[in-house]
């Protein structure tokens, strides 16, 4: 069973993206985003109609009131700055349009194109092949592995395969990294020394089946880094959402207690929209980074071959 932290990772997110059984759920997500986008378009229209209309509408809407600081202005006896309200509504409406577009492009388009096959090839499939070829590690991104890299015990890595070609290849890469022994390079070496390269070579990629071993290990290394980043950022985002939800609850309980059912719906809707935004933005970033790593390392490999 996949634990909660694994669900935050790029690997799991990509698997869910390609899973056609989730299509109805994606339609539901798209509908929620579309509803909120139309709602904020309505706010933009209100701000262009006039200030008096905004004043009359805010007490009836648990989103418009805190968005336009209605009760704060009422308490201090000041008037609403209609230009600021209009700018806020336009910015948030544009923000939701971006999320809506990303939801469509990621989840509701055809995934049979060569682009999607390539992305899956150099990320999830390559990562699966590496995990199947490991010798010592049960899980490559385990906490114990990172701990060993931070606090090394000065032991030498054994040559696990018993294959001379694999041992020579491992030593070649280790020598390349010899002058840059920081934490990332140590962990990269750790990945190399714990894989059966002969077995890893046989499990070729589908799209780029001639892709070099060194490039593929760089891709595995990038996947692990992305997983660590995804988990950290997702936890940070959920903490921020929790704090914002608490402040929203305090505002509603003080100023609009009669509209609590509408407030609960709004809170849940915006929390989920925030989750969708971060998930989609994270996927875009991960796709871009792993593609850059693939092409950069692949071109570097070709460069070395041409020079030789």
How many other CB atoms are found less than 10 A from the CB of residue 89? 23
For residue 247, CA distances in Å to 7, 69, 144, 253, 296 come to 28, 14, 39, 10, 46
Per-residue pLDDT, 202: 87
pLDDT at 161 over 60: no
Residue 132 domain-assigned (yes or no)? no
Residue 199 domain-assigned (yes or no)? no
Query: Euclidean distance between the first and final Cα of the chain, in Å?
Result: 48
Q: 235-278, pLDDT tens digit by residue?
A: 898 898 889 888 998 899 999 999 989 999 999 999 999 999 99
How many helices (DSSP H) and strands (DSSP E) are in the chain? 15, 0
Distance of CA 292 to the CA centre of its chain: 16
- 262 Cβ partners below 8 Å, 6+ apart? 61, 62
- Nearest CA to 298 among 220, 210, 224? 210
More confident residue, 64 or 147: 64
Q: Are 166 and 198 in contact (CB under 8 A)?
A: yes
Q: Are 212 and 295 in contact (CB under 8 A)?
A: no
Residue 99 domain-assigned (yes or no)? yes
Residue 180 domain-assigned (yes or no)? no
For residue 4, name the pLDDT band (cuts at 50, 70, 90).
confident
pLDDT at 168 over 80: no
Residue 75 domain-assigned (yes or no)? yes
pLDDT at 50 over 80: yes
Q: Are 100 and 33 in contact (CB under 8 A)?
A: yes
Residue 36 domain-assigned (yes or no)? yes
- Nearest CA to 177 among 165, 188, 169? 188
Encoding tokens for residue 202?
Answer: 């046989």
68: burial class by Cβ within 10 Å (0-12, 13-18, 19+)?
buried
pLDDT at 108 over 70: yes
pLDDT at 233 over 80: yes
More confident residue, 302 or 235: 235
Q: Give 242's Cβ-side CA count (13 Å radius).
A: 6
Residue 188 domain-assigned (yes or no)? no
pLDDT at 181 over 70: no
For residue 195, name the pLDDT band (cuts at 50, 70, 90).
confident
Helix (H, G, I), strand (E, B) or coil at 141: coil
What is the torsional sign of CA 108, 234, 36, 100? negative
**pTM for the whole thing?**
0.80
User: What whole-number distance in Å separates Cα of residue 288 and Cα of residue 308?
Assistant: 30
For residue 199, name the pLDDT band (cuts at 50, 70, 90).
confident
Total domains in the fold of the chain: 1
- Nearest CA to 103 among 35, 44, 40, 41? 35
Residue 157 domain-assigned (yes or no)? no
pLDDT at 156 over 70: no
- Nearest CA to 230 among 25, 10, 4? 10
Q: 59-102, pLDDT tens digit by residue?
A: 999 999 999 989 988 888 888 889 999 999 999 999 999 999 99
Q: Which domain holds residue 299?
A: 4-112+221-307
Distance of CA 211 to the CA centre of its chain: 26
For residue 169, name the pLDDT band (cuts at 50, 70, 90).
low
């Amino acid at each position: 069973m996949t634990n909660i932290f694994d669900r935050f990772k790029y690997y799991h997110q990509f698997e869910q993206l390609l899973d056609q059984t989730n299509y109805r759920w994606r339609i539901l997500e798209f509908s929620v985003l579309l509803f909120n986008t139309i709602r904020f378009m309505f706010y933009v229209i209100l701000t262009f109609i006039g200030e008096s209309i905004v004043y009359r509408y805010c007490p009836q809407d648990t989103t418009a009131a805190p968005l336009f600081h209605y009760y704060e202005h009422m308490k201090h006896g000041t008037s609403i700055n209609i230009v600021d309200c209009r700018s806020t509504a336009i910015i948030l409406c544009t923000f939701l349009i971006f999320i809506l577009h990303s939801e469509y492009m990621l989840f509701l388009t055809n995934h049979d194109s060569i682009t999607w096959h390539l992305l899956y090839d150099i990320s999830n499939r390559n990562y699966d092949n590496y995990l199947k070829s490991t010798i010592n590690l049960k899980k490559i991104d385990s906490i114990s592995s990172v701990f060993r890299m931070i606090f090394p015990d000065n032991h030498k890595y054994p040559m696990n395969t018993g294959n001379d070609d694999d041992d020579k290849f491992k030593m070649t890469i280790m020598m390349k990294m010899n002058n840059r022994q920081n934490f990332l390079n140590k962990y990269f070496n750790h990945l190399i020394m714990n894989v059966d390269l002969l077995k890893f070579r046989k499990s070729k990629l589908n799209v780029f089946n001639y892709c070099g071993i060194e490039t593929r290990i760089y891709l595995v290394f990038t996947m692990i880094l992305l997983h660590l980043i995804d988990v950290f950022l997702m936890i940070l985002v959920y903490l921020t959402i929790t704090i914002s939800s608490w402040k929203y609850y305090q505002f509603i309980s003080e100023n609009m207690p009669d509209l609590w059912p509408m407030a609960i719906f709004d809170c849940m809707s915006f929390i989920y929209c925030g989750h969708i935004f971060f998930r989609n933005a994270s996927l875009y970033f991960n796709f871009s980074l792993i593609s850059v790593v693939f092409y950069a390392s692949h071109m570097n490999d070709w460069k070395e071959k041409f020079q030789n």
